[in-house]
């Protein structure tokens, strides 16, 4: 744990102040369980003000929806405890399933709707006639805590996400620039060690780009003025991700041309100048225009019967323009983020405007996670009902909270156990306060002063990523177990029952999750790789997205999810999953070839259709069988398309087929163009 800075102390103090304000108002209004307002402040508060505000509305709406569901279920099923348990467990599972499909703050709405019904419904079985009043009171208490947390985050020394985004973006750009310069200087294939290092760097860049998502969402919900720059962040993430396949394609073309001894001298000089231009950190539109003009000078025209070298050089020219456009846009977007302004001029790499909201949604894993929570809740309820445990409702109640909070993890069990440990720490602290300190606190001021050391310490822990779950869990569970109300009621038996039931519920959740739901990082990574390849097959069949960059954005989003998982695996396991960026490049070219094939006719269109059909079949099987047929079909398609009349669609088809051939068969011999009819006659 690093030494807390002044911003950490500011966060801890303002969170404590918000908690005391929520508690005071709840006591003043005479809400039945004011401690829910205090605990809600700590589960809601985030270091960045926008992160707190972004979840506030969703939390309130989710709380109201969950409270409404408890009002519907409990009175009608209270005499059938098994059916009531099934209904609440099914509701929690359904809400969690919906929440896991969304990786934005909006996911908090269905998640809270789920476990709020458990928080209200299970304890209300002893007094079902008061369920409406109980539900209204819980909604008021939780909403009050959310409101106080949001006000503190907005009005008291708000911390903007913009400086954090700019700092991380600068680090990312430095790494990406170094990698790009290495790609431009490539001479032949790298050795194995360099290949492993290059693969790790690419995966880290993808992971870091995805990791900016939460900061961008926080920026959008600020009230500091920096939120105007959120429009600059929207295309930034996709630009960052698109750098990866574009630069990888450039590296591939440069390496193969060097290996064939076919890289023209003027192109070599250009690559050196481009690397130097990339090293300049400033905005340089004139330099970019000059570089684009130089590309026009050496880009081949792709006349009749182009050879393999000409096709590679044409493909390289297209991707070099993309590198220049992406570099310009990233610098411009960074300036807007730093200045807190929205971009007005159109971006050079305009395609990402179409795909800025593309995200991977894993329906299978979401359903799997929901089923695990469903079973865990039923087990908790079975223990509670079978034993007739006083205050045993805390078991399914806290089991639902713990399982839902960490359901997005590959293996939620360790996080649930860590949350349980924080609950035990909170219970110990609550016990000391309840039976040793609070009897001496006769006024609200004395109560606030007594709670200050523990709650401020929890706030400080929440500023440290490593200790944040422990700090939040101790504050939340400690506040709940203290059960602060208007008047002191220190009864040990209910306190002990609630503590044991809460811990048992979370333990049951961890055990059931480990048995049913837990998967390793390798399993998740392999699954995402398979999903990516199914997307490729669908794209080849024409059942994928309509634009190549949409498919690329979706696959790159998955690559960003795969990257941190691969970092935890042995190198050989990572290598066995293949080149993720090569798959992305294949996807771009597949969709682009399918798009332009509509303007082809005759033998050219037939040959391209044959390639797409074989590619779909091959991508589904992912075996060596049939590779020779696909390679031959690609060469036949290049021959057929090369023979049609010059047009933009013909050129796009040739470049797409070239990229597809390099992506699927990087080690295949060079394409040899078939002789034209007049050449065959002369040879005869």
At 486, the pLDDT band (50, 70, 90 cuts) reads low
Q: Is residue 613's pLDDT more than 50? A: yes
- Tokens 């860590």 correspond to what residue? 418
Count other C-beta atoms under 10 Å from residue 156's C-beta. Answer: 15
* pLDDT score for 579: 64
* pLDDT score for 376: 92
Count other C-beta atoms under 10 Å from residue 675's C-beta. Answer: 13
- Across 452-466, 488-502, 588-602, the highest mean pLDDT is recorded for 452-466
Q: What is the mean pLDDT of residues 318-342?
A: 85
Give the percent of the chain with pLDDT over 70.
89
Triad 156, 158, 163: Cα angle to 5°? 160
Kindly report, residue by residue over 339-368, the tens digit of the pLDDT.
777 777 778 886 665 555 667 788 888 898
DSSP-derived 3-state class of residue 308 = helix
Kindly report, residue by residue over 44-76, the tens digit of the pLDDT.
888 887 777 777 778 888 889 999 999 999 888
Distance (Å, whole) CA 222 – CA 575 = 41
DSSP-derived 3-state class of residue 7 = helix
Q: Is residue 485's pLDDT more than 80? A: no
At 547, the pLDDT band (50, 70, 90 cuts) reads low
Q: Is residue 561's pLDDT more than 70? A: yes
* pLDDT score for 87: 93
Q: What is the mean pLDDT of residues 433-459?
A: 87
Distance (Å, whole) CA 570 – CA 522 = 10
Q: What is the dihedral of CA 149, 155, 161, 164, to 10 degrees?
A: -110
* pLDDT score for 19: 93
* In contact, 525 and 565? CB cutoff 8 Å: yes
* pLDDT score for 114: 92
Residue 433 is given by DSSP the state I
Count other C-beta atoms under 10 Å from residue 590's C-beta. Answer: 31
Q: Is residue 190's pLDDT more than 50? A: no
Angle between helices 580-596 and 521-541 (to 10 degrees): 20
* pLDDT score for 452: 92
Q: Is residue 189's pLDDT more than 50? A: no
What are the sequence ranges of the domains in the chain? Answer: 6-159+362-517, 162-354, 521-683
424: its two tokens:
């035990």
DSSP per position, 373-416: HHHHHHHHHHHHHHHT-TTTTHHHHHHHHHHHHTTTSSSHHHHH
| Cα four-point dihedral sign 224, 225, 230, 233 | negative
DSSP per position, 493-557: HHHHHHHHHHHHHHHHHHHHIIIII---HHHHHHHHHHHHHHHHHHHHHT-S-SSHHHHHHHHHH
Q: CATH number for 162-354: choose from 3.30.1390, 1.20.58, 1.10.3470, 2.40.160.
A: 1.20.58
Q: What is the mean pLDDT of residues 364-387?
A: 90
At 430, the pLDDT band (50, 70, 90 cuts) reads confident
Q: Is residue 472's pLDDT more than 60? A: yes
Q: What is the mean pLDDT of residues 161-170?
A: 82
Count other C-beta atoms under 10 Å from residue 515's C-beta. Answer: 12
Q: What is the mean pLDDT of residues 444-465?
A: 90
Distance (Å, whole) CA 154 – CA 226 = 13
* pLDDT score for 97: 94
348: its two tokens:
């050079």
Radius of gyration of the chain (CA): 30
Q: Is residue 576's pLDDT more than 60? A: no
* pLDDT score for 192: 38
Distance (Å, whole) CA 92 – CA 115 = 6
* pLDDT score for 92: 95
DSSP-derived 3-state class of residue 72 = helix
Give the percent of the chain with pLDDT over 90.
15
- All residues at 6 or more sequence positions from 514 whose CB lies less than 8 Å from its CB, including other chains: 411, 413
Q: Is residue 171's pLDDT more than 70? A: yes
Count other C-beta atoms under 10 Å from residue 254's C-beta. Answer: 24
Count other C-beta atoms under 10 Å from residue 668's C-beta. Answer: 14
Kindly report, residue by residue over 80-139, the tens digit of the pLDDT.
888 999 999 999 999 999 999 887 777 888 998 998 999 888 888 877 777 888 888 888
Q: What is the mean pLDDT of residues 279-285?
A: 76
Would you give the end-to-end CA distance of the chain in angstroms?
81
Do you know the residue count of the chain?
A: 684
At 196, the pLDDT band (50, 70, 90 cuts) reads low
At 680, the pLDDT band (50, 70, 90 cuts) reads very low
Q: Is residue 678's pLDDT more than 60? A: no
Kindly report, residue by residue over 11-29, the tens digit of the pLDDT.
999 999 999 999 999 989 8
Q: Is residue 683's pLDDT more than 80? A: no
- pTM (two decimals): 0.81
H-type alpha helices, 567-626? 571-576, 580-596, 602-621
Q: Is residue 524's pLDDT more than 60? A: yes
**Of residues 544 and 162, more confidently modeled:** 162
At 188, the pLDDT band (50, 70, 90 cuts) reads very low
* pLDDT score for 684: 39
Q: Which whole-number Å values give the CA distances from 455 to 52, 105, 225, 443, 487, in the listed order?
A: 18, 25, 30, 18, 21
Q: Which whole-number Å values give the CA distances from 318 to 7, 104, 263, 405, in the listed order?
A: 47, 34, 16, 46
Distance (Å, whole) CA 394 – CA 412 = 20
73: its two tokens:
């279920």
pLDDT mean across residues, the chain: 82
Q: What is the mean pLDDT of residues 177-192?
A: 65
Distance (Å, whole) CA 18 – CA 485 = 18
* pLDDT score for 355: 55
* In contact, 528 and 555? CB cutoff 8 Å: no
Q: What is the mean pLDDT of residues 334-343?
A: 80
Distance (Å, whole) CA 332 – CA 53 = 27
Distance (Å, whole) CA 538 – CA 558 = 16
Q: What is the mean pLDDT of residues 366-382?
A: 91
* pLDDT score for 480: 80
Distance (Å, whole) CA 554 – CA 333 = 22
Residue 30 is given by DSSP the state T
Q: What is the mean pLDDT of residues 311-334?
A: 89
* pLDDT score for 91: 95
* pLDDT score for 370: 92
446: its two tokens:
């004395």
DSSP-derived 3-state class of residue 299 = coil
Kindly report, residue by residue over 285-296, the tens digit of the pLDDT.
888 889 999 999
Return the minimum-mean-pLDDT range out of 191-200, 295-304, 320-329. 191-200
């Amino acid at each position: 744990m690093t030494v807390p800075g002044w911003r950490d102390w500011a966060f801890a103090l303002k969170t404590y102040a918000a908690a005391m304000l929520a508690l005071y108002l709840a006591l003043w209004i005479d809400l039945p369980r004011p401690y829910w307002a205090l605990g809600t402040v700590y589960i809601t508060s985030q270091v960045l003000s926008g992160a707190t505000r972004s979840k506030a509305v969703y939390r309130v709406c989710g709380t109201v929806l969950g409270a409404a569901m408890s009002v519907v279920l409990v009175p009608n099923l209270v005499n059938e405890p098994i059916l009531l348990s099934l209904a609440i467990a099914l509701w929690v599972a359904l809400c969690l399933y919906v929440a896991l499909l969304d990786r934005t703050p909006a996911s908090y709405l269905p998640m809270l709707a789920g476990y709020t019904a458990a928080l209200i419904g299970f304890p209300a079985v002893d007094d079902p006639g008061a369920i409406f009043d109980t539900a209204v009171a819980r909604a008021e208490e939780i909403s009050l805590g959310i409101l106080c947390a949001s006000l503190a985050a907005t009005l008291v020394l708000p911390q903007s996400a913009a400086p954090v985004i700019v700092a991380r973006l600068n680090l990312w750009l430095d790494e990406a620039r170094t990698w790009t310069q290495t790609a431009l200087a490539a001479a032949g294939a790298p050795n194995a060690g360099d290949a492993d290092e290059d693969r790790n760097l690419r995966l880290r860049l993808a992971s870091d780009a995805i990791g900016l998502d939460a900061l961008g969402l926080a920026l959008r919900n600020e009230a500091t003025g920096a939120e105007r720059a959120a429009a600059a962040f929207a295309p930034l993430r996709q630009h960052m991700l698109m750098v990866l396949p574009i630069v990888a394609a450039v590296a591939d073309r440069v390496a193969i041309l060097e290996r064939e001894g076919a890289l023209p001298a003027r192109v070599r000089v250009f690559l050196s100048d481009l690397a130097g231009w990339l090293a300049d950190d400033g905005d340089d539109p004139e330099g970019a225009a000059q570089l684009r003009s130089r590309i026009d000078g050496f880009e081949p025209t792709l006349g009749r019967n182009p050879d393999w070298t000409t096709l590679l050089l044409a493909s390289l020219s297209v991707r070099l323009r993309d590198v220049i456009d992406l570099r310009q846009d990233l610098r411009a977007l960074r300036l807007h983020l730093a200045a807190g302004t929205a971009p007005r001029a159109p971006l050079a790499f305009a395609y990402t405007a179409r795909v800025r909201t593309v995200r991977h949604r894993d329906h299978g894993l979401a359903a799997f996670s929901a089923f695990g929570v469903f079973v865990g809740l039923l087990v908790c309820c079975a223990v509670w009902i079978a034993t007739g445990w006083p205050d045993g409702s805390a078991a399914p109640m806290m089991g639902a909270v713990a399982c839902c909070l960490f359901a997005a993890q590959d293996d939620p069990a360790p996080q649930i156990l860590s949350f349980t440990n924080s609950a035990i720490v909170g219970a110990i602290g609550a016990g000391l306060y309840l039976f040793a300190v609070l009897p001496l606190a006769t006024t609200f001021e004395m109560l606030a002063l007594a709670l200050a050391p523990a709650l401020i310490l929890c706030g400080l822990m929440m500023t440290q990523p490593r200790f944040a779950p422990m700090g939040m869990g101790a504050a939340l569970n400690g506040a709940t177990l203290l059960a602060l109300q208007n008047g002191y009621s220190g009864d040990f038996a209910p306190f002990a029952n609630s503590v044991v039931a809460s811990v048992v519920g979370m333990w049951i959740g961890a055990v059931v999750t480990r048995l049913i739901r837990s998967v390793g990082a390798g399993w998740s990574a392999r699954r995402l790789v398979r999903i990516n390849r199914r997307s490729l097959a669908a794209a080849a069949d024409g059942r994928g997205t309509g634009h190549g960059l949409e498919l690329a954005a979706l696959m790159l989003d998955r690559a960003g999810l795969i990257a941190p998982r691969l970092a935890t695996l042995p190198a050989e396991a990572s290598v066995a999953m293949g080149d993720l960026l090569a798959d992305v490049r294949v996807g771009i070219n597949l969709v682009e070839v399918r798009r332009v094939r509509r303007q082809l006719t005759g033998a050219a269109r037939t040959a391209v259709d044959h390639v797409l059909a074989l590619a779909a079949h091959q991508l589904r099987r992912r075996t060596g069988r049939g590779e020779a047929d696909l390679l031959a079909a690609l060469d036949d398609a290049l021959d057929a398309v090369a023979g049609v009349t010059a047009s933009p669609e013909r050129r796009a088809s040739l470049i797409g087929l070239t990229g597809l051939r390099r992506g699927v068969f990087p080690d295949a011999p060079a394409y040899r163009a078939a002789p034209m009819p007049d050449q065959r006659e002369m040879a005869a």
